[in-house]
Structure 1
Amino acid sequence: MPDAVMLFAAGLGTRMRELTRDRPKPLIEVAGRALLNHALDRVWEAGVGRIVINLHYRAAQIRAHLEGQRVLFSDESDALLETGGGLARALPLLAADPVFTLNTDAVWTGANPLAQLREAWQGAQGPGAEGLLLLVPRAAAIGHSGPGDFDLDAQGRLTRGTAYVYTGAQILRTPRFAARAPGAFSINPIWDEMIGAGTLFGAVHDGGWCDVGRPESIALAESMLQSAGDA
């Protein structure tokens, strides 16, 4: 079972416009707490033993914000590596297979996303699964302006589609990442390889989710949290 998590915190946050001029996106506050802390709350609630956070833009601010916390940092100051390359570089620090990954630009209500993934991983997917993504129906994806990402079949396998939106929480086996040459690459081609092999699965989140990728999404996230009694 996964007991290590990669938190993605290296991005430039350009969609946040002026809000990220002098700080990294993970330190933008929603309901009085940094987005990074919202993510870490979920990690600690789920009892994950090892936490790795990648850093690039204004990395010193994130290091200072988390001083004294039980976390490890994967340094990408030399170059942004995207999601796949960032995970591949962090594998020695994660020291585990499979691993959780969690984006730091969203907030959640309801079931703990990592605990929900862990339970689903133990269930119907079986030993052949290489990936398990947590999804929300397109109509329930607060703050998300794009199309859906995936369709889900009766066995829980994923294909590219529009019915569900990926929430930024997943479990992944790591060999495909370890086999890649070092450098920047997206997780998307790895997902496509898994889809082709029939080893990428999905689970639907039991609760609310808000993508906090743009300034106008902050109020949406705070409203969602308040409605759920979490703010």
Structure 2
Amino acid sequence: MTLPILFFAAGRGTRMGPLTKDRPKPLINVAGKALIDYALDIANAAGVGRKVVNVHYHGEMIRQHLAGQDITFSDESAQLLETGGGLKKALPLLETSPVLTMNTDAVWQGPNSITQILNAWRPEMEALMLLVEKKDVVGHLGKGDFKIDSNGRLKRAPEDIYTGLQIIRTDVLGEITDTAFSMNAAWDRIAARGGLFGTRFVGKWCDVGQPESIPLAEDMLHV
């Protein structure tokens, strides 16, 4: 199955402090490579379809960094739309449903995460999240996001952690009238009708959301 993908790259990266004063978080280097390039490498290896990157903060720097690649940009320079609003704005560029979305502030160790989630997708799903067990997480401060039941459905609980990679049918976005909104608004609607599923990543994942996470990520990559 080949799906289009949206890379979330529009945020301000405020948790990175001075590191994002003059650059967007996706261009912060980890082990000599920009964070967004790790996400793109995974996508390219998995053979995804159309690639879209949304931009807002220092968006021109991201455009320049990715120049010459087969990438379309969703411009949020006028207003930061959050994750849900950003996906809704990008729908005409993605063209089909379902779609993949992926954060650009993490590094992975193990099998190709996009290939894994594509292989786990089933027709009855409205959304499928790739989660990771706490024992396989590096650099993440959260208490956990979801619990997977025996049928693979998700409910909110401080257990497994969302990696920022999902497949989602985009019809739900038409139910939300706000321009700027979090993906949480869509997930809650989907979960209420039993369509929110999860699968666990069989590797390690590092959330590079703060400066202290950079050496942790580099250590994980070099193990």
CA distance in structure 2 between the aligned counterparts of 1:2 and 1:173, rounded to whole angstroms: 14
**CA shift for structure 1 position 139:** 2.9
User: C-alpha displacement at 1:225, in angstroms?
Assistant: 0.5
The Cα of 1:92 is off from its aligned counterpart by 0.2
Conserved? CA contact 1:2–1:96, under 8 Å = no
1:205 aligns with 2:201: yes
Q: Deviations over 1:155-197 (max 9, x none)?
A: 1100000110000000000001134335100010211111111
Query: CA–CA distance in 2 between the matches of 1:207 and 1:139?
Result: 10
Q: Aligned partners of 2:81, 2:162: CA distance in 1, in Å?
A: 20
1:189-226: CA deviation from partner (whole Å, max 9, x where unpaired) = 21111111111000000111000000000000000000
Q: 1:155 aligned to 151, 154, 157, which one? A: 151
Residue identity in the other structure for 1:178 = G
Normalising to structure 2: TM-score of the pair?
0.98
| Matched residue SS, 2:138 | coil
Q: Give the aligned partner of residue 6 of structure 2.
A: 6
Is 1:25 aligned with 2:17?
no
- Alpha-carbon distance in structure 1 between the residues aligned to 2:190 and 2:2: 18
Q: How does 1:70-85 map to 2 (within 5 A)?
A: 70-85=70-85
d(CA) in 1 for partners of 2:26 and 2:43?
Answer: 15
| 8 Å CA contact retained: 1:149, 1:163 | yes
> 3-state SS of the aligned residue for 1:37?
helix
Give the whole-Å Cα distance in 1 for the aligned partners of 2:94 and 2:37: 20
| Corresponding position: 1:184 with 2:177 | no
User: 1:51 is matched with which residue?
Assistant: 51
Q: Report the TM-score, using the length of structure 1 for normalisation.
A: 0.94
Distance in 2 separating the partners of 1:69 and 1:199: 35
The count of corresponding residues between Structure 1 and Structure 2 is 223
Paired position in structure 1 for 2:16? 16
Q: Write out aligned runs for 1:71-220 (5 A).
A: 71-121=71-121, 126-181=122-177, 183-220=179-216
SS of the residue corresponding to residue 140 of structure 2 reads coil
**Structure 2: how far apart are the matches of 1:182 and 1:74?**
18
Query: Separation in 2 of the partners of 1:120 and 1:75?
Result: 31
- Structure 2 residue runs without a partner (length 5+): none
Structure 1 position 140, deviation (Å): 2.2
Aligned sequence identity (%): 55
Runs of 4+ in structure 1 off by over 4 angstroms are none
